């Protein structure tokens, strides 16, 4: 029997994502900064049966290791401008009553108390439909300049900070209040029972906190936890904390191996193998004929300049490909920024020049192109051969144009194949994605007991 897939829509609050869509005739980039445009997208996704809208929040933009911003970043809108996605969520939650929302926030740039407060508030305002995509940050060179840090934080040190960060947030969300701590009793004058609101005292390697957490328990208490790092350290972190893991593999062989590895890591942390749901990136182009779809895919591939793609790669990986001899390879190159991305391009048979020329085709997850029937069949095959739990359908042309054909022409075929539920999922985001029937963290999650490391 086919597994019913999870579906999210992958977006960034910017004119474009992979530097390849805002110039296309189908694109309407001018609405990226408006609530109205995002409300239209939320309504489309909600009605179409998507489970959630995912914002790949970016705090900065590509910058060279020397601290300069390539002109192409500004000229061609290479993740520039990029707006503050968490601020739009409450407006979208008021627009639709079923769709979930996932927002990326960095443990390198943020502070635990402020982030915990923000996500608790969003969990209240969305009725439990919020998720946190935990990252340790790309665009590290720019963050050093913008946040006043001394230098790029080493990769494994960022994950050590992230471990303490998440543990402290879990302590605030799960232990700071009893469920019945708010009697709101007018007769006795007791709004909050002091005996059921706990003082948090934390003194760790990275953070110190003394005080009460001033947000009462929200529907989920802890937002549904996503994670998107695929390095060895990132996988171990995900196996401990993540409930849903976002991956960007492009072959069924690598995706299948990664899914199995992530589940085995979860087991090593005392969790069930199905405690982590794996969703992979998926770019979809649909046409009336195979030829029409292929031509549209080629238009999308050809849109960004080589220079723009090199800048985007630099922002995500910390590596400026244009600074290397095109005839060399990336085998001996190391980065403290995007190790999982760089690893995807380390190949002794592929030169730097070939990597540069192929970025427009190889960045992102699976790419499926064809008629509705062909696309549905390709998705069915990928799901069966990789055992992924779902997909993040990637931003293509921008706004509602990215998803209309998929919703109207492909999703009905997926439902016929048993790959999507007959009726859209409902409940808190955790209930929708895990099928647990409970808004609370499962008992085998380390946050269920919130023991601060």
Question: Residue 336 has what pLDDT?
Answer: 55
C-alpha 273, offset from chain centre: 21
pLDDT 10s digits, 145-167: 777 766 666 777 889 999 999 99
Report the distance separating Cα 116 and Cα 39, nearest Å: 25
Question: Residue 228 has what pLDDT?
Answer: 86
383-387 average pLDDT score: 98
Question: Residue 439 has what pLDDT?
Answer: 97
pLDDT band at 452 (very low <50, low <70, confident <90, very high): very low
Report the distance separating Cα 88 and Cα 434, nearest Å: 25
294-311 average pLDDT score: 85
Which residue has better confidence, 357 or 34?
Answer: 34
Per-residue pLDDT at 406 exceeds 80: yes
Structural domains of the chain, ranges and CATH numbers in brackets: 6-290+367-448 (3.20.20.30)
What is the value of pTM for the model shown?
A: 0.92
Tokens coding 451: 């023991």
Question: Residue 351 has what pLDDT?
Answer: 83
Sign of the torsion angle spanned by Cα atoms 170, 176, 178, 181: negative
The values of phi and psi at residue 410, to 5°, are: -105, -45
Say whether 155 counts as a known binding-site residue.
yes
Question: Residue 138 has what pLDDT?
Answer: 63
Say whether 231 counts as a known binding-site residue.
yes
Contacts of 384 (CB under 8 A, 6+ apart): 2
Per-residue pLDDT at 453 exceeds 50: no
Report the distance separating Cα 241 and Cα 395, nearest Å: 27
Mean confidence (pLDDT) of the chain: 89
pLDDT band at 338 (very low <50, low <70, confident <90, very high): low
Nearest in space to 232 (alpha carbons), one of 255, 251, 254, 258: 258
pLDDT band at 309 (very low <50, low <70, confident <90, very high): confident
Report the distance separating Cα 357 and Cα 229, nearest Å: 25
pLDDT 10s digits, 348-365: 778 877 877 777 776 779
Q: What is the percentage of the chain residues whose pLDDT exceeds 70?
A: 93
Q: Give the CA radius of gyration of the chain.
A: 22
Nearest in space to 406 (alpha carbons), one of 45, 43, 2: 45
Query: Position of tokens 């190159």?
Result: 333
Per-residue pLDDT at 302 exceeds 60: yes
Per-residue pLDDT at 236 exceeds 70: yes
231-243 average pLDDT score: 93
Which residue has better confidence, 317 or 419?
Answer: 419
């Amino acid at each position: 029997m086919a597994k019913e897939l999870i579906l999210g829509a992958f977006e960034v609050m910017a004119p474009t994502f992979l530097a390849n869509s805002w110039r296309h005739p189908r694109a309407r980039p001018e609405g990226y900064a408006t609530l109205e445009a995002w409300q239209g997208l939320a309504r489309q996704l909600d009605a179409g049966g998507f489970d959630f809208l995912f914002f790949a929040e970016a705090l900065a933009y590509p910058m060279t290791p020397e601290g300069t911003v390539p002109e192409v970043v500004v000229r061609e809108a290479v993740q520039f401008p990029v707006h503050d996605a968490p601020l739009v969520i409450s407006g979208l939650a008021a627009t639709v009553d079923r769709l979930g929302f996932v927002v990326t926030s960095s443990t390198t740039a943020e502070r635990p108390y402020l982030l915990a407060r923000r996500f608790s508030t969003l969990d209240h305002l969305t009725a439990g439909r919020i998720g946190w995509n935990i990252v340790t940050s790309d665009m590290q060179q720019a963050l050093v300049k913008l946040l006043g840090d001394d230098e790029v934080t080493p990769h494994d040190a960022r994950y050590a900070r992230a471990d303490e960060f998440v543990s402290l947030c879990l302590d605030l969300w799960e232990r700071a209040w009893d469920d019945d701590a708010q009697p709101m009793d007018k007769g006795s004058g007791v709004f909050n029972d002091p005996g059921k609101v706990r003082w948090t005292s934390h003194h760790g390697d990275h953070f110190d906190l003394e005080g009460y957490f001033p947000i009462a328990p929200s529907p989920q208490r802890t937002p549904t936890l996503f994670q998107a790092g695929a390095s060895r350290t990132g996988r171990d972190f995900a196996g401990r904390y993540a409930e849903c893991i976002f991956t960007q593999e492009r072959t069924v062989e690598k995706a299948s191996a990664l899914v199995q590895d992530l589940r085995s890591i979860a087991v090593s942390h005392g969790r069930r193998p199905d405690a982590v749901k794996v969703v992979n990136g998926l770019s979809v182009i649909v046409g009336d004929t195979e030829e029409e779809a292929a031509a549209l895919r080629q238009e999308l591939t050809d849109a960004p300049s080589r220079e723009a793609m090199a800048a985007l790669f630099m922002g995500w990986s910390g590596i400026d490909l244009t600074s290397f001899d095109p005839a060399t390879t990336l085998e001996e190159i190391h980065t403290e920024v995007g190790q999982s991305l760089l690893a995807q391009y380390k190949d002794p048979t592929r030169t730097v020049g070939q990597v540069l020329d192929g970025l427009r085709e190889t960045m992102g997850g699976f790419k499926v192109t064809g008629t509705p029937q062909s696309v549905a069949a390709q998705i069915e095959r990928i799901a069966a051969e990789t055992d992924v739990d779902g997909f993040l359908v990637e931003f293509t042309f921008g706004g509602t144009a990215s998803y209309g054909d998929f919703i109207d022409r492909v999703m009905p075929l997926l439902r016929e194949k048993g790959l999507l539920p007959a009726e859209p999922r409902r409940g808190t985001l955790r209930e929708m994605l895990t099928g647990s029937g409970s808004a609370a963290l499962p008992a085998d999650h380390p946050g269920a007991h919130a023991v601060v490391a």
